[in-house]
Amino acid sequence: MSEMTKVLVTGGAGFIGSNFVRWAHNAHPDWQITTLDKLTYAGRLENLSSVMDSARHHFVQGDIADAAIAGPLVHDSDMVVHFAAETHVDRSIQSAAAFITTDVIGTFVLLEAARQATHLKRFVQISTDEVYGSVPSGASVETDELRPRNPYSASKAGADRLAYSYWATYGIPVVITRASNNYGPNQFPEKVIPLFITNAVDNIPVPLYGDGLNVRDWLHVDDHCRAIDVVMAQGTDGEVYNVGGGNEVTNVDLTHRILELAGRSDALITRVADRLGHDRRYALDTTKLRGLGWAPHVPFEEGLASTVDWYCQNESWWRPIKEQDQAYRAYYHTQYGSRANV
Ligand code: NAD
Ligand code: DAU
C-alpha cells in the first residue's frame, strides 16, 4: 500500500465530485481516494454506490469548515481536489450565508490544514468561469480581472484568490481550475438542464428566465474530469487553468433541444421573471489547458442526448427528490411559485 497515492476529494458526493471519484477510481488503480462530504441537500451517497465497497475508496461525512475533521484528512493526503461548495446561483440570491461559510471559510480551513501537511503535492481549487463575471464579447483568459456579480460567484472568487494567496505566501502547491457550465449524469434537478429534462419527462412547464438569450458554454462532466486529471499531473503551482467545452448556446436554444430530445412540445416553455443580476454570457479561452494536451471530446449533441437518456433511465434517482423531498419542494415553490405558478 505504501506506493498508493492518497487523494482527498471534498464534495465527492455531489454532481461533479461523484463523477470525478468514479472516473478516478477506474483510471487510477494506484489512488487511495477519500471522499469528505457533508451530505447537504446536494450530496447523495447513492452517487458513490459503485465505489462504496471498494478498498480503494473511503467515505467520511463531515464539514470542510470543521478543522477537527478536515485537518487530519488533509494532513494525510498527497493530493486534495476541493469541489465542496454551495453551488446554485438562485439559492445564493435567496440566502448567501451558507455560501460564505462553506465556499470561503471552508476553503480557508482546508488551506490552513494544508500548511501543516508534510507530503502534499497538489491542492486543486475547483473554481468557476463565473468569477470573471458577465463577458459580453470575446473569451476570458486566466489573467483577466475577476468581476463576480452574484453572491455565489463572489464567494467562489474569494476562495479562488484565497487559494492563490496560500501558494504565493506559504508555497502551498495550489492549482486553480475555472470550468464552464457542466452537464451530465447525477446533476441535482435545480440546475437548468436536469430541471428542464425532468419537467419535460413529466410534461410540466419549463421556466425560462427573462428573454432566454443568456449564453452558457456547456462542458460534459467527463471532459471536466479529464481536465482535472491533466492539471493534477502537469499543472504548474500557482497557475489558473480555464476548462471550457466550447459549446456556447443560448438558453432558449438549449430548451428547444431538450424538449425535442424528450419528445415534448415547445408549448411547455414558460417565460418567467429573470434571475436578479443575471450574467448574460460566459466564455472561456482554453488555450492554456490545451497546451497541456487536453481537449474536450464529447460533442454537445451527443452529450445532451445521453444526459436526457440518463434521466429517463434513472427516475428512481431524481423522482424522490422532486416529489418527496420537502426541502426541495419548498425551494421550488419559493423560486418559481411567485414567478409563474409553475
Ligand atoms: P453540487 O452542489 O452538486 O455538489 C456539492 C457537494 O459539496 C455536495 O455533495 C455537498 O454535500 C458538498 N458540500 C457542500 N457543503 C459542504 C461542506 N461544508 N462540507 C463538505 N461538503 C460540502 O456541486 P457541483 O455542481 O458538483 O460543483 C462542484 C464544484 O465545482 C463546486 O466547487 C462548484 O463551484 C464547481 N463548479 C461547478 C460547475 C457546474 O457547472 N456545476 C462549473 C464550474 C465549477
Ligand atoms: O458557469 C459555471 C457555473 O454554472 C457553476 O459555477 C455553477 O455552480 C453552476 O450552477 C452553473 O451556474 P449557472 O447559473 O450558469 O447554472 P444554472 O443551471 O442555474 O442556469 C443556467 C442558465 O439557465 C442561466 O442563464 C439561468 C438559466 N435558467 C436556470 C434555471 C435554474 C433558467 O432560464 N431557468 C431556470 O429555471
Q: What is the pLDDT of residues 80-101, one digit of tens each?
A: 999 999 999 999 999 999 999 9
> What's the topology of domain 192-216+248-277+301-340?
UDP-galactose 4-epimerase; domain 1 (3.90.25)
pLDDT band per the 50, 70, 90 thresholds, residue 339: confident
Say if CB 77 and CB 6 are below 8 A apart.
yes
> CA-to-CA distance for 70 and 90, rounded, in angstroms?
28
Architecture of domain 5-183+218-243: 3-Layer(aba) Sandwich (3.40)
Counting every residue written for the chain, the total comes to 342
What percent of the chain is modeled with pLDDT above 90? 97
Please tell me the pTM assigned to this model.
Answer: 0.98
C-alpha cell at 269: 416553455
> CA-to-CA distance for 10 and 241, rounded, in angstroms?
19
Q: Are strands 215-220 and 181-183 parallel, antiparallel or unpaired?
A: parallel
Segment 266-274 shows an average pLDDT of 97
Q: Are strands 248-250 and 215-220 parallel, antiparallel or unpaired?
A: antiparallel
Q: Is 308 in the pocket of ligand 2 (CB under 6 A)?
A: no
Centroid of ligand 1 to alpha carbon of 236 (angstroms): 24
Is 68 a residue whose pLDDT tops 60? yes
Q: Is 9 in the pocket of ligand 1 (CB under 6 A)?
A: no
Annotation marks residue 130 as catalytic: yes
Phi, psi (degrees; rounded to nearest 5) at 292: -95, 5
Please identify which of the residues 37, 90, 130, 223 carries the catalytic annotation: 130
Taking only the tens place, the pLDDT of each residue in 287-306 is: 999 999 999 999 999 999 99
Centroid of ligand 1 to alpha carbon of 266 (angstroms): 31
pLDDT for 341: 47
Segment 210-237 shows an average pLDDT of 98
| Residue type (1 letter), 163 | A
- Beta-bridge mates of residue 5: 31
Say if CB 35 and CB 70 are below 8 A apart.
no
Domain positions in the chain: 5-183+218-243, 192-216+248-277+301-340
Taking only the tens place, the pLDDT of each residue in 170-184 is: 999 999 999 999 999
> Nearest-CA neighbor of 243 among 127, 148, 133, 159?
127
Pocket test for ligand 1, best of 45, 46, 87, 225 (most atoms within 8 A of CB): 87
Is 2 a residue whose pLDDT tops 60? no
What are the DSSP calls for 252-318, one per residue?
HHHHHHHHHHHT--GGGEEEEPPPTT---B--B--HHHHTTT----S-HHHHHHHHHHHHHHTHHHH
> CA-to-CA distance for 12 and 16, rounded, in angstroms?
7
